[in-house]
Structure 1
Amino acid sequence: MKQLLTNSCLLLALLIALCSAPSPARAWNAKGHRLVAAIAYRSLTPEDRDALIEILKQHPRFAADFERQMPDVVKSGTKDQQQEWLFGHAAVWPDYIRGFKGEESDKYHRPTWHYINWPHYLSDAEAAELAMPPMVNRHLDPAMTPVLEQNLMQSIARLRSQFVDSKYSAEERAVMICWLLHTMGDLHQPMHGASLFCKPLFVQGDRGGNSILTRQSGNLHAVWDNALGNDDSFREVNRHATLLLATPEMTKIGTASQASIEQKTWLEESHALAVEHVYDQAVLSHVRVQMLTAKNVDDFPPLMLNEDYLRNSSKVSERRSVEAGYRIAAVLRQLLHP
């Protein structure tokens, strides 16, 4: 009996450790991507919605990854509800395929397309010293890097160019829609357009905040990925999108944002937001103390973010989700009607 209790305690401890360990951050979480896609969908004309959905239905994995995944409540709903769900699921699909194995993973999974480590430095001296770290791809021109290794900015530029090229099939364009919805949404998440570089901890960057451990969500990147909430049900996404679009200030922000549909502008905005709101004084003070006392990021206690920080992350993220949705709609209109 004593041995059984000991084993049970060890198992419980292991489960707690696994549940509390920082998970690898991805992008906006599923709620964030579905919310951005819902705003984009509602910003399109009915004709453009239908045209995009017809292309999406040519997706080589449409039956397995879309039709079979559609919730019953959506299946029994209206055509418009079904199409909006498909749009949101397309935006999530590039994260969904992270679970693929073997040939399917090789064919579709592109881990480097989700981010660009655009630098933020602690000092001018470090900016000069760490200006060109090896293994960090900051190129903006797709031609500079092989397709499988391209960063977020390169992948968006290439996808926008290829979508209007008649040599690509409907199946290929359907996959492109998924990646366009996803990557353009990602670029509006501040931590997908910024990375802190400093010595000795982050000479290759902090991987968009993934290396700064926090009590909430595991790490700084994940805090911002989850800033729009975690409930990605159709009902919740519909409620949140309706609330944002019913707010005159938000619709004004969204409409104004469509004047800038070049991804370099979006990168500059996200980076500036990261500098101002993500890497605030509390976060930077934590990093500076960590630099002095720890040789490894895992040897330092996680940062506890205060409620003001978390509320602000949600506020900033809601605005970015609206800007992303309106801009994605504008880009898709341009691609459909070149």
Structure 2
Amino acid sequence: MKVSSLSLATSVAIVLACSSTFYSTDAQAWGKTGHRITGKIASAYLSDAARAAIRDLLGPESLAEASTYADEMRSNPSDFWQQTAGPFHYVTLNQPHTYDAEDCPPQGDAMSALKDFTATLKDTSARHEDKQLALRFIVHIIGDLHQPLHVGSAALNDRGGNDVKVTFFGEQSNLHRVWDSGLVEHQKLSYSEFSHWLQRKITPQQAQQWATPDPYQWINESSKLRDEIYPQTDEPYLAWDYVYSYTPTMKQRLQQGGVRIAAYLNQVFAESQS
């Protein structure tokens, strides 16, 4: 399936699940709040060319709004959303920390989707609606790849922590969901409040250091963090100690995700103009 020639009305690809798949109907990396935070932060680091191109494609729709589109459409009954797009939210690594082309299953993954959606965005002959979809997915995928459990391990074979049952402040959950939304929502902040707090703490030096458009680096970072965040007991009770230990990591990944959405789009639209 080539995303660059994608039409939602005609997509008929049939996708079979494979053993390395860990995406579930509950898994929405960072949840809506987290994705909107990365989109909001990204807006502060866009180049003039990227800002203009995004405005031409999305009109008044902000990157914060666009960032959740790929999750909000998952109940759309079309073949694309029900049979094709699910694997675009994650990768599964056969090696501990390095993504290889052989890691991509036949149905695709976040890396293959990022490549294809980027091609669509650069394609001067692509339809406007396909470019809109591509942009929204790119923003979402970059956010996904900064959530450590959306970089899964074939060796662990636990669907990115979905199979790791935990209790989070007295409620039954799983490790994936804790990282998708539990840690973020525990802050009790709106996305605009949280993004403002996080953005103003990004120093110019950090913004420059983090502004890499290389998804292989994002995946490497997330995979190393993934290995650190698993509880050390079966069916653990996660509460204040876990929040204390990993909230700084969660905050930095949101900050980095936002900076890198901008860095990636700045590069894409700079290349489109050259």
TM superposition score category, shorter chain reference: 0.7 to 0.9
Instruction: Return the structure number with greater relative CO, CA threshold 8 A, min gap 6.
Output: 2
Which residue of structure 2 aligns with residue 53 of structure 1? Answer: 55
Seen in structure 2, the aligned counterparts of structure 1 residues 228 and 116 have a Cα distance that, compared at 3 Å, is: same
Distance 2:237 2:154 in 1: 19
Which residue of structure 2 aligns with residue 240 of structure 1? Answer: 194
- Give unpaired runs (5+ residues) of structure 2: 1-23
* Superposition map of 1:287-306 within 5 A: 302-306=235-239
TM-score relative to the length of structure 1:
0.64
Seen in structure 2, the aligned counterparts of structure 1 residues 43 and 332 have a Cα distance that, compared at 3 Å, is: same
Which residue of structure 1 aligns with residue 30 of structure 2? Answer: 28
Which residue of structure 1 aligns with residue 177 of structure 2? Answer: 222
Seen in structure 2, the aligned counterparts of structure 1 residues 102 and 245 have a Cα distance that, compared at 3 Å, is: closer
1:145 offset after TM fit, Å? 5.3
SS of 2:158 mapped into structure 1: coil
TM-score relative to the length of structure 2:
0.78
1:194 aligns with 2:152: yes
SS of 2:113 mapped into structure 1: helix
2:124 to 153, 163, 166: 166
More helix by share: 1
Seen in structure 2, the aligned counterparts of structure 1 residues 197 and 331 have a Cα distance that, compared at 3 Å, is: same
Q: Which has the larger radius of gyration?
A: 1
Does the CA contact (< 8 Å) of 2:120 and 2:130 recur in 1? no
Does the CA contact (< 8 Å) of 1:187 and 1:267 recur in 2? yes
- The one-letter amino acid of 1:140's match is A
Seen in structure 2, the aligned counterparts of structure 1 residues 206 and 241 have a Cα distance that, compared at 3 Å, is: same
Number of residue pairs the alignment of both structures matches: 242
1:319 to 226, 236, 252: 252
Distance 1:275 1:224 in 2: 13
SS of 2:184 mapped into structure 1: coil
1:99 aligns with 2:75: yes
Distance 2:178 2:66 in 1: 23
Distance 1:119 1:232 in 2: 37
**Once superposed, which parts of structure 1, at least 4 consecutive aligned residues long, lie more than 6 Å away?**
230-233
Deviation track 1:58-99 (CA, whole Å, cap 9, x = no partner) reads xxxxxxxxxxxxxxxxxxxxxxxx55xx32121100000112
- The one-letter amino acid of 1:332's match is L
Cα RMSD (Å) of the superposition?
A: 2.8
Which residue of structure 1 aligns with residue 134 of structure 2? Answer: 176
Seen in structure 2, the aligned counterparts of structure 1 residues 161 and 140 have a Cα distance that, compared at 3 Å, is: farther
1:175 offset after TM fit, Å? 0.5
Seen in structure 2, the aligned counterparts of structure 1 residues 141 and 263 have a Cα distance that, compared at 3 Å, is: farther
